[in-house]
Structure 1
Amino acid sequence: MRKQGKQFETEAIRTQMERTQFLEHSSPMYLTSSFVFEDAEDMRASFAEEKERNIYSRYSNPNSSEFIEKVCKMEGAEDGFAFASGMAAVFSTFATLLESGDHIVSSKSIFGSTHTLFTQFFPKWNIHTSYFDAHNLDTVEGLITPKTKILYAESPTNPGVDILDLEVLGKIAKKHGLIFIIDNCFASPYLQQPIKFGADLVIHSGTKLMDGQGRVLAGITVGNHELVDKIYRFARITGPTLSPFNAWLLSKSLETLAVRVDKHCANALVLATYLENHNKIEWVKYPFLKSHPQHEIAKKQMKAGGCVVAFGVKGGLEAGRKFFDNIELLSLSANLGDSRSIVTHPTSTTHSKLTKEEREAVGISDGMVRISVGLEHIDDIIADIEQALG
């Protein structure tokens, strides 16, 4: 590992694996499933973990190791493991740490697939979840039982971009001896480092801002070494490992994360301000708008507001459908954090598996629109939205 202390952008660019005999400037790809050994003793010692070395790419690979090291430095984490998707990271992290009879306390405002995991799959293994309102952290401690093991949240939330006070949650977790896990996908490690506020583990979908160009699926969990080591041992057996090629792409993408996210945030703030003053928009939420209910908390724990703007179109579901049908430049997709701006209808896509009551409980109305603001010129983004509103 390199010494800590360089600025974020420098670490993102200059954290690289050791050069080979060819003295390449850019890290090469290691598209190999396995690695060879010098002799019988080398093989025995490697499998006995008496030495650190690559054995099999399901366990580790130079490309995934470089990607993990970069994210650890960005987040201030001790260790990490990279996965084939964001949900592979979520599932593997929880499956590693939980046993039958354990209990999770989670924010209601989480990704739809994570909610489905908590409500439909974990109960089959006698693991149950209690939810708290992201707007009322005073209720969190009342949900904690002797069986509670994990405190979990996303901030900003998906899709409503609510902000949870990570420092408050961190103190609650520490007081009760809970493992505090934060999904930091919407912020990226450039805008927010939850470990500073007490998080034990941080999860990312690398598919989003880390890649930033809609090319790959990936996930990563970083944090406390002891916890990550358990996750690693679970993952090397169950096999949800990130591929070397995708790890190589992501490591290269992280070199431009800061400049990309700066532009995402600048565009998003301009768009949010424009929408807030539009007569056909009912409401707008963006963390760095002064009108956002948790604006001060966002400023305390985030560098900027992120790439996602949520809003409601006046006229309800029919007006919202017309808006989506009229979009020309922006993409209709369920992804986010892409260089291309993306318009999503959470009710019919990312959170469609939730009941109407479950969606309404976390502020997802039928007319909600989520825009992941991309890197196009802001005038062109606004022009497309303007014509789509009619």
Structure 2
Amino acid sequence: MAKLETKLIHEGEEHNTTKSVVSPIYQTSTYFVSEDIAEFAHSTSTVKFPEFYHRHGNPTSSQAAAVIASLEKTEDALILATGMAAISTAILAAVKSGDHIIAQHTHYAASRTFLLDFLSDYGVEVTLVDQIDNEAFASAVKGNTKLIYIETPSNPNLEITDLEYIGKLGKDKGILTMIDNTFASPINQVPAEYGIDVVVHSATKYLGGHSDLTAGAVCGSKEMIAKVWKRSLLLGASLSPFDSWLLLRGLKTLALRVRQINENALALAQWLEKQPQISKVGYTGLESHPQHQLAKKQMKGYTGMLVIEIEGNDAFGKAQTILNSLEVFANAVSLGGVESLIAHPASMWSSSNEEQKKKSGITDGTLRLSVGIEHIEDLIADFSQALAKI
């Protein structure tokens, strides 16, 4: 069986029916011309048929989906236009009015808004629990619970959910389990190995890796992906042909990028932990992380994401000074690219109220870092000069 690095280059090559080494961009909305009515009917009804109409699928998206499904060790995958398209479409394929979802207090802000605000308008009940408390998930199960939706490590506080426990709970209770695996990437974490049914990604982040596209991915059984695909036909969040090609290109270097990012992030976290201006460093690779042993058990690497808390009074002002002073780290949204980014979650999470921010561990002095592939000495030097100004 081919190794991971080889799969990233060659998986799904059957979807490239040309003789070109690099899959072409199929820049067309309509792929299929046929005089055979039966053949036409087959094309329009076949799940993810790659050469019929763009909303149904395209060959490059099919190849990218094959790579991601292989990485996540699921039967199939579907590529969509954004991470939120993947998350919302997958959830809408799993629940209906009258159903109940168990989720966490800490989720990506847009996911949380979708769960609490959007779904409530359509009669879906959502219960939020503390993700580090296994029993809280079990206690929240009801007769109409159809989905357990988790995110680990969580955004932005990097708390860990016990994948093995959730996988078993779902199987024992007959409840579908779904995870946002964006922060980890399939290089660092493969939830299917722990019995998780469905994996979603913002492929904008690590999978694409170059901050030049938006995309999403849903991974699961063929049956589940067929359901998601049918929802996607009506919701219409198809990934453009060019972005499919960019995603496929980005995936080829995923293992190399993530390993360098992991190395940089651990070294930077260890250095930041020693700085007097920082009261706390949250990074799953640090022994000081309260769930380090669980992270070590279910993760192969610790990601490029870390969170820090600024020490002392006027945390907001100090955070602003750091953001203004950094030269290598850019104050920008998103994450998982080759460049290092930093963000102030309390300002970004505008859709969350103060109580919600508190439950998610967000304060005025919280800063979220996405570590890139720059030289670690430059990253440390950048933070050193910025911290000296507060």
Which band: TM-score by shorter chain?
Answer: over 0.9
Change (3 A) 1:53 1:258: closer
Question: How do 1:1-390 and structure 2 match up within 5 A?
Answer: 5-18=1-14, 23-41=19-37, 42-49=39-46, 54-315=51-312, 316-349=315-348, 351-390=349-388
Q: After TM superposition, give the deviation of residue 318 of structure 1 in Å.
A: 2.0
Q: Distance in 1 between matches of 2:17 and 2:115?
A: 49
The residue type paired with residue 95 of structure 1 is: L
Q: After TM superposition, give the deviation of residue 50 of structure 1 in Å.
A: 10
On the 8 A contact 2:16/2:23 being kept in 1, the answer is no
Change (3 A) 1:236 1:275: same
Q: After TM superposition, give the deviation of residue 24 of structure 1 in Å.
A: 1.3
The residue type paired with residue 359 of structure 2 is: A
Q: Distance in 1 between matches of 2:228 and 2:286?
A: 38
Q: After TM superposition, give the deviation of residue 48 of structure 1 in Å.
A: 4.7
SS at match of 2:187: helix
Q: Distance in 1 between matches of 2:107 and 2:48?
A: 40
Q: After TM superposition, give the deviation of residue 49 of structure 1 in Å.
A: 3.8
Q: After TM superposition, give the deviation of residue 237 of structure 1 in Å.
A: 2.3
The residue type paired with residue 23 of structure 2 is: S
Deviations 1:259-317 (A, max 9, x none): 00000000000000001111111000111111111111111111111001111111322
Change (3 A) 1:21 1:200: closer
Q: After TM superposition, give the deviation of residue 226 of structure 1 in Å.
A: 1.0
Q: After TM superposition, give the deviation of residue 18 of structure 1 in Å.
A: 3.7
Provide the alpha-carbon RMSD of the alignment: 1.6
On the 8 A contact 1:171/1:198 being kept in 2, the answer is yes
On the 8 A contact 2:132/2:162 being kept in 1, the answer is no
Q: Distance in 2 between matches of 1:152 and 1:71?
A: 20
Change (3 A) 1:48 1:131: closer
Q: Distance in 1 between matches of 2:48 and 2:382?
A: 57
Change (3 A) 1:20 1:287: closer
On the 8 A contact 2:27/2:242 being kept in 1, the answer is yes
More displaced 10-residue stretch of structure 1: 48-57 or 159-168: 48-57
Deviations 1:141-188 (A, max 9, x none): 111111111001111110011111100111111111111000000111
Change (3 A) 1:21 1:250: closer
TM-score by length of 2: 0.95
On the 8 A contact 1:16/1:27 being kept in 2, the answer is no
Q: Distance in 1 between matches of 2:255 and 2:194?
A: 21
Q: After TM superposition, give the deviation of residue 51 of structure 1 in Å.
A: 11
Deviations 1:240-259 (A, max 9, x none): 11111111111111110000
On the 8 A contact 1:109/1:158 being kept in 2, the answer is yes
On the 8 A contact 1:269/1:289 being kept in 2, the answer is yes
On the 8 A contact 2:47/2:56 being kept in 1, the answer is no
On the 8 A contact 1:206/1:217 being kept in 2, the answer is yes
Aligned length: 385
SS at match of 1:161: coil
Q: Distance in 1 between matches of 2:302 and 2:45?
A: 47
Q: After TM superposition, give the deviation of residue 22 of structure 1 in Å.
A: 5.8
On the 8 A contact 1:133/1:362 being kept in 2, the answer is no
On the 8 A contact 1:324/1:332 being kept in 2, the answer is yes
Unaligned runs of 5+ in 2: none
Q: Distance in 1 between matches of 2:49 and 2:60?
A: 15
Q: Distance in 1 between matches of 2:47 and 2:127?
A: 42
Q: Distance in 1 between matches of 2:197 and 2:18?
A: 39
Change (3 A) 1:45 1:221: closer
SS at match of 1:188: coil
Q: Distance in 1 between matches of 2:372 and 2:47?
A: 47
On the 8 A contact 1:107/1:133 being kept in 2, the answer is yes
On the 8 A contact 1:105/1:152 being kept in 2, the answer is yes
Unaligned runs of 5+ in 1: none
Q: Distance in 1 between matches of 2:291 and 2:356?
A: 22
